[in-house]
């Protein structure tokens, strides 16, 4: 009996498994066709020696099939013929954070490069995610996507004039049928200290080969109202690693996700490197159905609970006092005020720790070589002579959780991530603190990204997944709105009346525009003391 037959028999026996919510998911290889799906959708692919080619997308809820005419592999990174193909299926149970899912792994080797495509199939979800891992040696295609203006190209008089002759590493691909597709791409912007327009969309009709930016692409056939979406699980376009200028390529009804976020040197011979992810979802109808399908997927990534995820937060950095006021007496008094206001989480920002940051009111602080001071992340003995115990105990009596600000050691691509992780774990064990605001991040390389994930994963695993990270999105190269979402929520922006740039309607506008594509409960927005700097605003300003 061949290896392929053994795999097929094994998978046929386990292709329907119980899942979160009592629904089913499956993945099996039969003949030359690989099928993965659940009660919402199915994606069928030609096996193609372990380099699958999508040939069908089925919307089971509406009994409709999106016609696909796939000829090229969904994932393309190097030239060559795939060998040593394998297919395995594992059920990944919930860890209390993400929903349980079926992981279907397609692996192959092309030359000296090992490729694993790990599909995540959830139950009650009209979308299937795919995480791609690489190991070995590779010379990536040089991204030759022609980003010049179409005005600089030759006029089209003959079929040969339409050829573009480009080769771009492709993260995922749907080669569809039909001439009446309409598409919309959504681009997001973070580093909100510099941006106050965080979402922009573009609606277009696919024509000849063109490139588009954004984390999201929605497309539907205007004749049948059948649609699909791509979610590129990556930072915002402007902060992605090794960004070539686009996230999607469309050539009539051929849609591609591009930009893997790696260079050749990021792929190692002895360890797996994870590239940016891609989610493919389906819907029938209009925008509401498309957004509902997207939201159902996003809800799988982190199980939202009131006790852990919901918070009305008071922060000691408020009123621009920075770290000047924070000490035991101040915090105890603030807790009384917080209780009167209905605050549920009191966050001690920069200044609680023994080490001094460069954002301190007093000079001499630094984030460089933090771990030369082994006590950097212990309570400042002058400000907190009894440690944080009095603060935590009073918070418990008042029903208020205590959170802490934390700035990982950014030098050398977070090389000290293990020390950072142990510092957080130590604070959790000693004081029961479960919420940490993560600030000051810079993710300039794949190594930095990998080490940061190791930090977060280690903390979660060693705290029984009770810790939540409040991820600052105000500056630097960070995860944005669609990357590392499983770790917690997003501290969206800093605005200060001192500079006359805080207007409540603008903050609410940002929340409203983002909430179309990102769950609103994932974002933390500010309400300031607007009376503190009334003189900084024109008395006639109706929005002050």
Q: Are residues 273 and 339 in the same domain?
A: no
Confidence class of residue 158 from pLDDT cuts 50, 70 and 90?
very low
Q: Are residues 277 and 319 in the same domain?
A: no
- Burial letters 37-70, b for 16+ CB under 10 A, else e: bbbbbbbbbbbbebbbbbbbbbbeeeeeebebeb
What's the pLDDT score for residue 162?
A: 41
The single residue listed with the structure tokens 């919420």 is 435
What's the pLDDT score for residue 427?
A: 99
Q: Which residues have a Cβ under 8 Å from the Cβ of 148 and sit 6 or more positions away?
A: none
What's the pLDDT score for residue 216?
A: 99
Q: Is residue 278 part of a domain?
A: yes
Least confident of 214-218, 429-433, 484-488, 493-497: 493-497
Q: Is residue 188 part of a domain?
A: yes
In the predicted model, is pLDDT for residue 44 greater than 70? Answer: yes
Give the count of beta carbons closer than 10 Å to the beta carbon of residue 147: 12
Which CATH number characterizes residue 380's domain? 3.20.20.70
Least confident of 48-52, 278-282, 497-501: 497-501
Q: Are residues 288 and 351 in the same domain?
A: no
Q: Is residue 405 part of a domain?
A: yes
Q: Is residue 409 part of a domain?
A: yes
The single residue listed with the structure tokens 């590129």 is 232
Decide which of 301, 321, 355 is a domain's last residue. 301
- Can you tell me the distance from the alpha carbon of 461 to that of 302, in angstroms, rounded to the nearest whole number? 15
What's the pLDDT score for residue 153?
A: 52
DSSP lists the bridge partners of residue 240 as: none
Which CATH number characterizes residue 81's domain? 2.70.98
- Can you tell me the distance from the alpha carbon of 282 to that of 186, in angstroms, rounded to the nearest whole number? 17
Per residue in 227-270, pLDDT (tens digit) is 999 999 999 999 999 999 999 999 999 999 999 999 999 999 99
Q: Which residues have a Cβ under 8 Å from the Cβ of 160 and sit 6 or more positions away?
A: none
Closest CA to 462 of 426, 431, 436, 437: 426
The three-state secondary structure class of 378 is coil
Q: Are residues 269 and 375 in the same domain?
A: no
Per residue in 439-487, pLDDT (tens digit) is 999 999 999 999 999 999 999 999 999 999 999 999 999 999 999 999 9
DSSP 155: P
Q: Are residues 468 and 369 in the same domain?
A: yes
Q: Are residues 314 and 297 in the same domain?
A: no
In the predicted model, is pLDDT for residue 203 greater than 80? Answer: yes
Structural domains counted in the chain: 2
Confidence class of residue 20 from pLDDT cuts 50, 70 and 90?
very low
Per residue in 160-190, pLDDT (tens digit) is 444 444 478 999 999 999 999 999 999 999 9
- Can you tell me the distance from the alpha carbon of 416 to that of 491, in angstroms, rounded to the nearest whole number? 24
Q: Is residue 511 part of a domain?
A: no
What's the pLDDT score for residue 132?
A: 99
Q: Indicate the helix (H) or strand (E) that contains 37.
A: strand 33-38
129-133, 140-144, 494-498, range with greatest mean pLDDT: 129-133
Decide which of 301, 316, 332 is a domain's last residue. 301
Least confident of 51-60, 224-233, 312-321, 361-370: 361-370
- Can you tell me the distance from the alpha carbon of 468 to that of 449, in angstroms, rounded to the nearest whole number? 18
- Can you tell me the distance from the alpha carbon of 239 to that of 387, in angstroms, rounded to the nearest whole number? 39
Give the count of beta carbons closer than 10 Å to the beta carbon of residue 187: 18
Q: Which residues have a Cβ under 8 Å from the Cβ of 294 and sit 6 or more positions away?
A: 127, 216, 229, 231, 281, 517
The single residue listed with the structure tokens 């954004």 is 214
Q: For 235, phi and psi rounded to 5 degrees?
A: -60, 175
Q: Are residues 290 and 324 in the same domain?
A: no
Q: Is residue 496 part of a domain?
A: no
Q: Are residues 315 and 405 in the same domain?
A: yes
In the predicted model, is pLDDT for residue 3 greater than 70? Answer: no
Q: Are residues 58 and 119 in the same domain?
A: yes
What's the pLDDT score for residue 155?
A: 53
Q: Are residues 376 and 402 in the same domain?
A: yes
Q: Are residues 275 and 332 in the same domain?
A: no
Give the count of beta carbons closer than 10 Å to the beta carbon of residue 123: 21
**What is the SS3 string spanning 57-81?**
EEECCCCEEEEECCCCCCCECCCCC
Closest CA to 219 of 175, 162, 163, 166: 175
Average pLDDT over residues 516-533: 93
Decide which of 451, 476, 491 is a domain's last residue. 491
What's the pLDDT score for residue 263?
A: 95
- Taking CA atoms, 66 is separated from 278, 286, 290, in Å, by 19, 15, 15
Range of the structural domain that residue 421 is part of: 306-491
**What is the SS3 string spanning 171-189?**
EEEEEECCCCEEEEEEEEC
In the predicted model, is pLDDT for residue 103 greater than 80? Answer: yes
- Can you tell me the distance from the alpha carbon of 33 to that of 4, in angstroms, rounded to the nearest whole number? 12
DSSP 113: E
516, 291 Cβ separation under 8 angstroms = yes
The three-state secondary structure class of 20 is helix
Q: Are residues 117 and 199 in the same domain?
A: yes
Q: Is residue 116 part of a domain?
A: yes
What's the pLDDT score for residue 147?
A: 54
pLDDT top residue among 22 and 23: 23
What's the pLDDT score for residue 161?
A: 42
Average pLDDT over residues 524-530: 90
For residue 387 the two structure tokens come to 């440690």
Whole-number average pLDDT of the chain:
91
- Burial letters 283-318, b for 16+ CB under 10 A, else e: bbeeeebbbebbebbbebbbbeeeebeebebbbbbb
Per residue in 312-343, pLDDT (tens digit) is 999 998 778 888 999 999 999 999 999 999 99
* Pairing between β-strand 181-188 and β-strand 170-175 as defined by DSSP bridges: unpaired
491, 248 Cβ separation under 8 angstroms = no
Q: Is residue 525 part of a domain?
A: no
What's the pLDDT score for residue 8?
A: 35
């Amino acid at each position: 009996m061949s290896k392929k037959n053994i795999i097929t028999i094994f998978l046929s026996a386990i292709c329907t498994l119980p899942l979160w919510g009592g629904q089913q998911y499956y993945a099996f290889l039969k003949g030359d066709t690989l099928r993965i799906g659940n009660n919402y959708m199915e994606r069928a692919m030609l096996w193609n020696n372990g380099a699958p080619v999508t040939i069908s997308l089925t919307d089971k809820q509406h009994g409709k099939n999106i016609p696909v005419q796939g000829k090229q592999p969904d994932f393309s990174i190097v030239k060559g013929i795939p060998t040593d193909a394998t297919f395995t299926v594992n059920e990944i149970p919930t860890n209390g954070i993400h929903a349980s899912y079926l992981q279907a792994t397609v692996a192959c080797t092309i030359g000296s490069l090992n490729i694993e495509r790990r599909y995540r199939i959830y139950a009650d979800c009209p979308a299937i995610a795919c995480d791609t891992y690489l190991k070995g040696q590779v010379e990536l295609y040089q991204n030759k996507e022609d980003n010049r203006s179409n005005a600089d190209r030759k006029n089209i008089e003959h079929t040969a004039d339409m050829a573009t002759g480009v080769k771009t590493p492709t993260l995922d691909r749907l080669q569809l049928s039909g001439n009446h597709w309409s598409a919309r791409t959504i681009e997001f912007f973070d580093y909100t200290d510099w941006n106050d327009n965080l979402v922009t969309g573009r609606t277009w009709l696919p024509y000849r080969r063109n490139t588009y930016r954004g984390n999201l692409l929605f497309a539907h056939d205007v004749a049948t109202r059948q649609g699909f979406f791509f979610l590129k699980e990556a930072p915002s376009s402007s902060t992605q690693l090794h960004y070539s200028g686009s996230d999607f390529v469309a050539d009539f009804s051929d849609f591609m996700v591009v930009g893997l976020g790696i260079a050749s040197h990021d792929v190692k011979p002895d360890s797996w490197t994870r590239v940016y992810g891609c989610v493919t979802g389906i819907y029938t109808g209009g925008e509401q159905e498309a957004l509902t399908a997207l939201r159902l997927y996003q809800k799988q990534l982190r199980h939202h609970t009131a006790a852990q995820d919901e918070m009305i937060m008071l922060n000691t950095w408020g009123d621009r006092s920075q770290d000047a006021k924070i000490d035991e007496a101040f915090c105890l008094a603030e807790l009384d005020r917080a209780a009167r206001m209905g605050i549920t989480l009191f966050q001690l920002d920069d200044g609680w720790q023994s080490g001094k940051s460069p954002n301190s009111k007093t000079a001499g602080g630094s984030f460089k070589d933090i771990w030369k001071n082994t006590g950097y992340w212990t309570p400042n003995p002058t400000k907190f002579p009894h440690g944080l115990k009095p603060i935590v105990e009073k918070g418990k009596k008042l029903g208020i959780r205590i959170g802490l600000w934390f700035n990982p050691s950014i030098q050398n691509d977070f090389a000290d991530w293990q020390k950072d992780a142990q510092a957080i774990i130590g604070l959790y064990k000693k004081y029961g603190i479960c919420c940490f605001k993560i600030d000051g991040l810079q993710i300039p390389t794949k190594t930095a990204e990998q080490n940061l994930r190791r930090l977060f994963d280690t903390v979660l695993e060693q705290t029984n997944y009770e810790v939540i990270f409040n991820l600052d999105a105000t500056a630097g190269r960070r995860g944005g709105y669609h990357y590392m979402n499983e770790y917690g929520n997003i501290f969206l922006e800093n605005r200060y009346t001192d500079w006359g740039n805080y207007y409540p309607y603008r903050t609410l506008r940002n929340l409203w525009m983002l909430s179309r594509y990102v769950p609103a409960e994932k974002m933390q927005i500010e309400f300031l003391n607007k009376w503190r700097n009334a003189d900084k605003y024109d008395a006639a300003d109706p929005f002050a």
